Amino acid sequence: MDKIAVLTSGGDAPGMNAAIRAVVRTAGFYQLGVIGIMRGFHGLIHDEFIELHPRSVADVIHRGGTILKSARSTEFLTPEGQAQAVKNLRNAGVEGLVIIGGDGSFRGGMRLQSAGINVIGVPATIDNDIPCTDYSIGFDTTVNTVVEAINKIRDTATSHERIYVVEVMGRHSGHIALYAGLAGGAETVLVPEVDADLDDLCRRIVGGYELGKAHSIVIVAEGVGGDFQTGRNMEESSAFQIGDYVKEKTGFETRVTVLGHIQRGGNPSAQDRIIASRLGARAVELLKEGHGGHMVGVVHTDIKATPLEDALNQQKQVDLEFHRLAHILASQ
Ligand code: F6P
């Protein structure tokens, strides 16, 4: 094997640049050429290829975002788009591809693997919803970003003795909400994986007030929705609708904060840089050894390779112990 390529795809995540750096530097160590593909699968189809050298990734380990950019590509869902992608890779002499992204990006990678291009997936999404790895690149940084925001909200919530509903990202999963809710000392964490009972939420808030709590902070994962125990079908439920319900039922002053895309940026944490460096380097070694069709993940403290088709047939579960513990610790 003489040459590999690397791309980033899906929602960007802090630490992607550290992973790109590890791919390029490890490839250089093994005398492999590296092509950087701009804008994910869109750039793969439109031949947006750049040569990367060990110096190309100087001074990026600490930067959020991705120097290769990312873009959604509906073209890649077509056979013509996939054929063009394979043709471009072959024309460039690329024999292996590292895909840094989420499960949707890995599904695209499986199509390239079927066409004979060896692909290794590196899990990178702030949602941390990729199975076969304890952590995806970006998750730790995002949890820290949310905890910093909760700390700031806690100050004003205490000053004005208010209820705050804080919506966090996570797409259809509650990993960010659970970790940040526990670390941030939130009174309640609402996640898609656990049916939300708004009347129970209100009882907890009133109970906290009677215990002398100066405020309550409710973390809501953006994927929370559907039928609440109140019997009200809140299909498009959001933090705002939950906030209105709490205010109406408890009479307490309530405010809502939707953290949004600040959760996607920022300098990656040390943990994310270490995970990114380990996974990026292992991906290159697997390609060099002739392997493809796998993702790499960190499991406990080891780096583990899992066939993509096995990984993509699983769903990563949230740790409901975090949910139970957060509520125990905030209930007193
Ligand atoms: O998958 C990462 C993520 O940030 C999700 O948590 C969020 O729902 C989504 O991307 C937002 O997508 P976009 O950046 O296209 O608005």
Is 99 in the same domain as 167? no
Is 51 in the same domain as 75? yes
Q: Is residue 318 part of a domain?
A: no
Q: Is residue 171 part of a domain?
A: yes
Please, are residues 3 and 92 in contact by the beta-carbon 8 Å criterion? yes
Q: Is residue 324 part of a domain?
A: no
Q: Choose one of 39, 69, 73, 126 to mutate for the ligand 1 pocket test, by most ligand atoms within 8 angstroms of C-beta.
A: 126
Query: Relative to the CA of 13, which ligand 1 atom is closest?
Result: 2
CA 260 to ligand 1 center in whole angstroms: 9
Mean pLDDT of the 270-299 span:
98
Is 8 in the same domain as 104? yes
Please, are residues 223 and 264 in contact by the beta-carbon 8 Å criterion? no
The answer on pLDDT for 34 being more than 50 is yes
| Residue 95 in contact with ligand 1 by CB distance below 6 A | no
Q: Is residue 278 part of a domain?
A: yes
Mean pLDDT of the 89-97 span:
98
CA 172 to ligand 1 center in whole angstroms: 10
Confidence at residue 225, expressed as pLDDT on a 0 to 100 scale: 72
Residue 332 pLDDT class (50, 70, 90 cuts): confident
User: Which residue's alpha carbon is at the smallest distance from atom 1 of ligand 1?
Assistant: 11
Q: Which of 2, 12, 103, 127 is catalytic?
A: 127
Is 204 in the same domain as 281? no
Q: Is residue 246 part of a domain?
A: yes
| Residue 264 in contact with ligand 1 by CB distance below 6 A | yes
Q: Is residue 325 part of a domain?
A: no
CATH of the domain at 115: 3.40.50.450
pLDDT tens digit sequence for 126-178: 999 999 999 999 999 999 999 999 999 999 999 999 999 999 999 999 999 99
Query: Domain boundary residue among 235, 264, 293?
Result: 264
127 as an active site residue: the answer is yes
Q: Is residue 321 part of a domain?
A: no
Query: Relative to the CA of 176, which ligand 1 atom is closest?
Result: 6
Q: Distances from the Cα of 148 to the Cαs of 59, 82, 152, in angstroms?
A: 25, 42, 6
Q: How many domains, in total, are found in the chain?
A: 2
Please state, rounded to an integer, the average pLDDT across all residues of the chain. Answer: 94
Give residue 225's domain range: 139-264
Query: Tokens at residue 228, please?
Result: 């609440």
Q: Which of 297, 317, 16, 318 is nearest to 177 (CA)?
A: 318
User: Which residue's alpha carbon is at the smallest distance from atom 10 of ligand 1?
Assistant: 11
| Residue 48 in contact with ligand 1 by CB distance below 6 A | no
In the chain, what's the furthest Cα-to-Cα distance? 70
CA 235 to ligand 1 center in whole angstroms: 20
Q: Distances from the Cα of 76 to the Cαs of 79, 111, 293, in angstroms?
A: 7, 10, 18
The answer on pLDDT for 226 being more than 60 is no
Q: Is residue 128 part of a domain?
A: yes
Confidence at residue 230, expressed as pLDDT on a 0 to 100 scale: 39
Is 112 in the same domain as 230? no
Is 202 in the same domain as 99? no
CATH of the domain at 235: 3.40.50.460
Is 180 in the same domain as 222? yes
| Residue 170 in contact with ligand 1 by CB distance below 6 A | yes
User: Scanning the structure block, which residue is given the tokens 């964490």?
Assistant: 189
Is 101 in the same domain as 18? yes
Is 130 in the same domain as 273? yes
Is 78 in the same domain as 105? yes
The answer on pLDDT for 236 being more than 90 is no
By CB atoms closer than 10 A (0-12, 13-18, 19+), residue 244 is middle
User: Which residue's alpha carbon is at the smallest distance from atom 3 of ligand 1?
Assistant: 11
CA 128 to ligand 1 center in whole angstroms: 12
Q: Distances from the Cα of 9 to the Cαs of 69, 71, 107, in angstroms?
A: 8, 6, 11
Query: Tokens at residue 124, please?
Result: 């990178």
Please, are residues 98 and 6 in contact by the beta-carbon 8 Å criterion? yes
Is 197 in the same domain as 228? yes
Is 150 in the same domain as 132? no
